[in-house]
A and B are shown apart, each in its own frame.
Chain A
Amino acid sequence: MGWTNRLQAVREFLYGMLGYEFGRYARQAYSEREACLITLLFGDGLGVPLPRSYYALALLPFIVSHWGAWKHRLLRERDLVTDRHLDLHGI
């Protein structure tokens, strides 16, 4: 095992110990806000009663690739017990 590999291993170990939780929290916070943003913009597409905004349509091209995931996220069945966030989110 060369030095670079060892350094890499240490780096990954440290990431797993410290960074992973932060990263997971940040990714989760990101996708929560993303779902919220798309819902605010295009929620009426799934029946959320929002007034349709003319300028929201200008943002539609940037949302196209997230549309499916967003719809899935918003419409999926939720189990209150398993959905509870029991971890500390790295805080």
Chain B
Amino acid sequence: MSLKQVFEQNPDRRYIMFGGKGGLGKTTFSAATAFWLAQKGYRVLVFSVDPQASLTDIFQKDIFGKGAVPIIENLWAQEIDADSHIKAYQGEIRKKILDMYGFDAVPDEIEDYIQAASAEPAMEESAIFDAVVDIVVKGDYDYYIYDLVPLGHALYYLSMAKVYDEWINKITKLREEMREYETMVARIKREKETDEDKILTELQYIKGRINASSNILTNKDKTAFFFVVVPEEMIILDTQKAAELFAKFDVPIAGYVVNRVLPAELRTQEVPAYLKNRLAMQSGYIDKIKTLLGNQVLGYVPEMERDVTGLAMIEKLANIMYG
């Protein structure tokens, strides 16, 4: 099966991820896929969760932290700026405090706490995670293409939903216990029932959002995860290990795409020994990929004559991948 057939036969799969080790072509494949889908008339958002995102470079347009930026008709690209997401979040919290208590200013101690939040490195990752939840839950587009971070980190993001879910359950349980004692006191004193619990409501809201997004991402019918590999020994070994790990997190692996394949016509030409060796090496590893992955390989993408940046090259690659 080809990549194109996978898309055509699974029209409900609207969340597309390309994953793999760093530098193998995740961003280029994301951009080319987004380009192809947009040309077919779908509304497509390609977005990056990588703090060192390269969508700006590939589209040759500064999009970092600018929200969804239009690239061509039907195609938007977004690079999440964790810092500004955190700032906006802090602002919301401050506003809520002022509104709730009628303060003129947030109390010093609370303000200190809010400010310290942006200093924590884990906050940045959570902010990106939350921004993705935001994008997915809103549902403004037909297709969402994730330009993922390198493997280990991608797993971390995927596991974050589970970590948060457990955290929320723990807090909710404690809060519910408090609630029981509160009603007990009210009943003994024959007071009217206590008001709706705002903390529980907020926890349920957060849980709902996180679950909605992680349900989508682990749903085989809605999501496709493609591994990008290149014909090199270390990459093949690492990808195999990663695939096992990803399976544990219920990531719906839809197939593999092999990148950087040296053009076949080189074999028939008179080429220098260096290139001859590379060709021999690659065909060995391609055979290995074929035995290991068989029909899970959805495409072989050749090494291009130059790096893929700018719309003309993206279009060219899209034609090769989906033509």
Binding site for B on A (CB under 8 A): 15, 19, 22-23, 26-27, 29-30, 33-34, 36-37, 40-42, 44-45, 51-55, 57-62, 64-65, 67, 71
Contacts and interface: CB of A to CB of B under 8 A. Distances in A.
Contact of B198 (A33, A52, A62): A62
Contacts of A64: 97, 100-101, 107, 110
B135 to A, nearest CB: 16
B91 to A, nearest CB: 11
Please provide the 8 A-B residue pairs with the shortest distance between their CB atoms, ordered closest to farther.
A54-B126, A30-B181, A26-B184, A61-B96, A19-B188, A26-B181, A23-B188, A33-B178
B71 interface: no
Interface residues of B, number: 42
A14 to B, nearest CB: 11
A55 B164 contact: yes
Contacts of A15: 188-189
A27 B188 CA distance: 11
B168 to A, nearest CB: 7
11 contacts: A23-B185, A33-B177, A37-B175, A41-B171, A54-B122, A54-B129, A55-B168, A58-B93, A58-B206, A59-B171, A71-B109
Contacts of A33: 174, 177-178, 181
A16 B174 CA distance: 29
Contacts of A22: 184, 188
Tell me the dominant secondary structure on chain A's binding face: helix
B77 interface: no
Among B117, B164, B188, which residue has the most Cβ atoms of chain A within 10 A?
Answer: B188
B123 interface: yes
B202 interface: yes
Interface string B8-33: 00000000000000000000000000
B249 interface: no
Interface string B100-123: 110000010110111011001011
A34 B188 contact: no
Contacts of A26: 181-182, 184-185, 188
Contact of B182 (A19, A30, A36): A30
